[in-house]
Amino acid sequence: MANFFRRRIAAKLSRTLQQHEDLLSPALSAVPVFKKQKTADFKLSINTLRANGVLPSSGDVQLQAENLAAQLKQDSVVENISADRGLINFTVNRKLFVEKMLEPLENQDDTKFGLNSELLNNLKRGTTLVEYSSPNIAKKFHAGHLRSTIIGNFIANLKQTLGNNVIRMNYLGDWGMQFGLLGAGFGQFGSQEKLKQNPLQHLFEVYVQVNKEAEQNEDVRQNARDFFRQLEQHEGQAVSLWQQFRDITVSEYQHIYKRLGVHFDIYSGESEHQGQAQEVVQQLRSRGLLKTSEKGTGVVDLSPDGDGSSVCTVLRSDGTTLYITRDLAAAVDRKQKYHFDEMIYVTDKSQATHFQQLFQILLAMGHPWAESCQHVSFGLVRGMKTRTGEVVFLEDVLDEARTRMLHNMSQSKTTKELDDPEDTAEKVGISALIVQDFKGPLNSDYKFDWDRMLQAQGDTGVFLQYTHARLCSLIRRNEEIDAATFDPSLLLEQSSVTILQHLLRSSFCLQL
């Protein structure tokens, strides 16, 4: 599809510039598609040609674009050529465009539309480890973790579809002083009976209660420190209670993940890397990277000139490790265990500095594979509330999406009688939640809006499901009708062309 047109345009350029097509093809890409605006199909970057030595690196870029565009002639494949802001835009013959883009669909057994593109032949494939979701143990799944779960799952699915061996990891927040508070609080306010009835709700209530007490009572704070020390020293009773909290939480989370259509290969956590974190400290010390600050903390100097203007704290003054120390240990351990070719962390944008420092320290420790580690950041969800307006837990959001969708379905005159309307409402409601999350720019915050999310028209998950259902219905009702000869001239209106332009661009996006 895309490669047919790219080869033809590259051949045209090759004849004009007297250069090999292979040198010119990389400079050609699909043009971004905009709503309600006609766009060209391909663009040629003059700057790329300058960087490759095809065109002189000096002179006005726009003038070079205009001069080259003037030398290129339209033909049966390319019907329009124009120059704009250092780019040359190519619009291909519309009838041929429709015909070539839909050609793969003639083989109805081909379920990998676009994935057989020649553009993907040189894609590097290997083992990809994706860390995402990563909620905190002994707490209900907060809705704030929804974006990491959805985006991380999408990345993992995409990498797998492109032929990578994907390891899906959930790195749980299962260590830290909060467990000292929870352990001490459970001894005072907890009930094993309530823990069996509604595990995470009870733990949440205990945590809120002990936090209030700790604000005003030094004895409670001391009890929390004592419990966490027992935990770090692997004392049986403390570890047993912590393990119970962890097992309960993972079990509850798995139920929510199942509703979202998400699964993990590995449930890992900070607790697994305590000992290894101390080994990391020793390695930093032996390499001369660990310095002691005026406050007595252990720091690594990351400033370019080594003047201490930018440091990362990896050790408290009492010698205990921090989150980043355990992250360093976890990264080294994963490389040794899974031999990944790339590792992707999916968290919100507030952790960008943390991951920059993490990768910098790994490189300084002599781990060149840190170059293949990547942080995919995203913006925050604002205003996500249930009807009660209380602390938002993801399960409550999923329940409310189902309830609201069920109500909307019951009010619609076009809703057909269903065998299991609750199951349909669940699936449509969750798809609406996912589509709303994908609609905006990745790193922008967005305001959650129940009414807009569940609309049956526009760019919503509900409309997407409705359209899919309509298309499936059309196929079922016309199964016995012989297929007519395909006539591409029937799909020349702008709305059809826009959809095909999106499909054209997908192969280019998957190369990135």
Residues 447 and 384: their CA atoms lie apart, in Å, by 8
* Reduced DSSP (H G I as helix, E B as strand, rest coil) percent helix, strand, coil of the chain, to 5: 55, 15, 30
In which region does residue 125 sit, left (phi positive, over 0), alpha (psi from -120 to 50) or beta (all else)?
beta
Concerning whether 145 is annotated as a catalytic residue, the answer is yes
Given 12, 100, 140, 145, the catalytic residue? 145
Q: Which residue has the tokens 């004009």?
A: 16
- Terminal Cα-to-Cα distance of the chain (whole angstroms): 18
* Contact present, 375 and 355 (Cβ < 8 Å): yes
- Torsion, Cα 491 494 500 503, to 10 degrees, reads -160
Given 12, 43, 100, 139, the catalytic residue? 139
Burial of 27 (0-12, 13-18, 19+ CB in 10 A): buried
Residues 121 and 108: their CA atoms lie apart, in Å, by 23
Question: How far does Cα 471 stand from its chain's mean position?
Answer: 29
Helical segments of 190-317, H only:
192-197, 199-216, 218-232, 236-260, 274-286
Q: Tokens for 421?
A: 């309307």
Amino acid identity of 6?
R
Q: Which residue has the tokens 């921090």?
A: 322
Concerning whether 407 is annotated as a catalytic residue, the answer is no
Residues 225 and 67: their CA atoms lie apart, in Å, by 73
Residues 31 and 76: their CA atoms lie apart, in Å, by 20
Residue 31's contacts (CB-CB under 8 Å, 6 or more residues apart) are 39, 40, 41, 42, 43, 89, 501, 505
Q: Tokens for 230?
A: 């027992």
Concerning whether 139 is annotated as a catalytic residue, the answer is yes
Kindly report the CA angle at 221 between 196 and 197, in degrees rounded to 5?
5
Active site residues: 139, 142, 145
